[in-house]
A and B are shown apart, each in its own frame.
Chain A
Amino acid sequence: MSDKRAKHTSKSKYTLDRQIPGAFEGETVTRRAFMTGTAHTAGAIAATAFTLPALGFAVGPIFKSTPHRWESVGPVDSFSDTNYIPVVMTVTPNIGEAGKTTVYVRKFNPEIDTDPYDRETPYIAISSRCAHLGCPVRWVDAAERFICPCHGGVYDLLGRRVGGPPVRPLDRFYTRVSGEDVEVGPRFSVNSELRRFSPRDPGQPLDGVGQYLYPSRPGAQKL
């Protein structure tokens, strides 16, 4: 025992510290430990080599920003300032009917649209997607309400929530007049004070901490 001890002391202090049985002079990592490490590392590299590109491929579209599109929806005199006219416009090109949506358009009315944020748009264009979970809302003229058929959301003339579960007012679209036509552009979301935010998905509140809990995404930016 004692001569074994003496043999150990002759080795480098690193080898001794490792307490590897039967280690030769200067050895700090055993062959087995080295091979185990190699197996883990090489395996991990090989697995990452196909996982990461696949994941990037799948996640990529999230970070792709889409160009803003403007679309003519009709001549300026076809819209009144008291009632909404539903118009159909394309949100996603190249997929035909599946990429279209209905927008309710009304002329800017200084008596109703008193909010400072509204004054920049010559026309008020309100999305037909319920701010609760995205069902198609309908404009009921008699009641002057937008009504959602799914879970009972109700909005007033300005698209603000009156009843039901919607978490924010109805989304809106930018509008501009180009020549004789009204053009509808990208969508934006508003909070209960009609302040503008980059477009969110339905069900994502924008009041209080809502705008931080549901961040805007690169694929959907306001103008």
Chain B
Amino acid sequence: MPKLPKLPAPPLPAALQEAPPRPSEGKGPSGPLEDAKQAGITVVDWVDERTSLSGATRWLLFRKVPKGTNWFYTLGSATMFAFLSQAVTGVFLAMYYRPDPAGGAYESIRYVTNDVFLGQFVRGMHKWGSSVMVILVFLHMGRTFFFGAYKYPRELNWVIGVVLLILTMVMSFTGYLLPFDQRAYWATIVGVNINGTGPLIGPYLSDFLRGGSEFGATTLSRFYAIHMLLVPGLLAALIGAHLYLVAKLGTSAPPWQKVEKRSELREAEV
């Protein structure tokens, strides 16, 4: 016996039918949580309508990373994270620091270390964060080098990366002097004199760093300004350029990754 087609249920009279939801009411769950979500979406929409940032965000976040990327590819972002940590802890240390070589600098650091709530902890984070950042920069550079990721089309990003490496070393060198203890002072003397051994411009360069021919009243504030204004600004700008190029050119694929050429792709290429 052939199966009969199922008959549709007879329509209910209009009076018994459930009223369709009004556009304003919505069908989902309601309550304060839902209202907050709606408010958030409204704000984001408001901003996006005026900036069109959603396109850039989509371009940045929903790009694809090639097959086979592994944990080695997290070293770059880890370096950036260490930089952010340094920036934030540095801002809070700057709230207490006095660049005064006549005793104020050492005294302010001693005060931060011994008396301020969490002072030693934050200073420790800044101090050891610099070591961690230097290590991460070198590991990231090693990964790029051994994976051949500096080759076409990423040459420019390598150059920016080397500048970032140098600036990181400048940061650690200028940061050194600020606590103004024995190690800080002598390491800076040696460092400035190393700059001075450059022929012709060396003597003037070390005069510029010291703000005079001898270690003087303004040397410390010079190093302070370089350490917390000049170089961090350059670092932030160049990190932006570095990231833009990564997103633009795409994360490099591991050199061992084999391309499985599927037939349709091959046809599409031809």
Q: Which residues of A contact B (CB under 8 A)?
A: 58-59, 61-62, 64, 66, 91-92, 94-99, 129, 133-136, 150, 199-204, 213-217, 219-220
Contacts and interface: CB of A to CB of B under 8 A. Distances in A.
Given A201-B193, A203-B196, A213-B199, A219 B207 contact: yes
A59 B211 CA distance: 8
B240 to A, nearest CB: 21
Contacts of B252: none
B208 A204 contact: no
B129 interface: no
B121 interface: no
Contacts of B206: 201
A201 B203 contact: yes
30 contacts: A58-B208, A59-B208, A92-B212, A92-B214, A95-B102, A95-B217, A97-B102, A97-B103, A99-B214, A99-B215, A129-B189, A133-B190, A133-B194, A134-B192, A134-B193, A135-B186, A135-B189, A136-B186, A201-B192, A201-B193, A201-B196, A202-B196, A203-B194, A204-B202, A214-B200, A214-B202, A215-B200, A217-B213, A219-B213, A220-B213
Contact of B211 (A61, A200, A213, A216): A61
B33 to A, nearest CB: 51
B214 A91 contact: yes
Contacts of B214: 66, 91-92, 99, 220
B197 interface: yes
A135 B190 contact: yes
Contacts, number: 93
B232 interface: no
Interface residues of B, number: 29
Interface string B170-201: 00000000001000011001101110110110
A214 B196 CA distance: 9
Contacts of A64: 212
Contact of B203 (A94, A129, A217): A217
B202 A62 contact: no
A219 B194 CA distance: 19
Contacts of B186: 135-136
Nearest to B200: A213
Among all A-B residue pairs, the 3 with the closest Cβ atoms:
A219-B213, A220-B213, A96-B102
Nearest to A59: B208
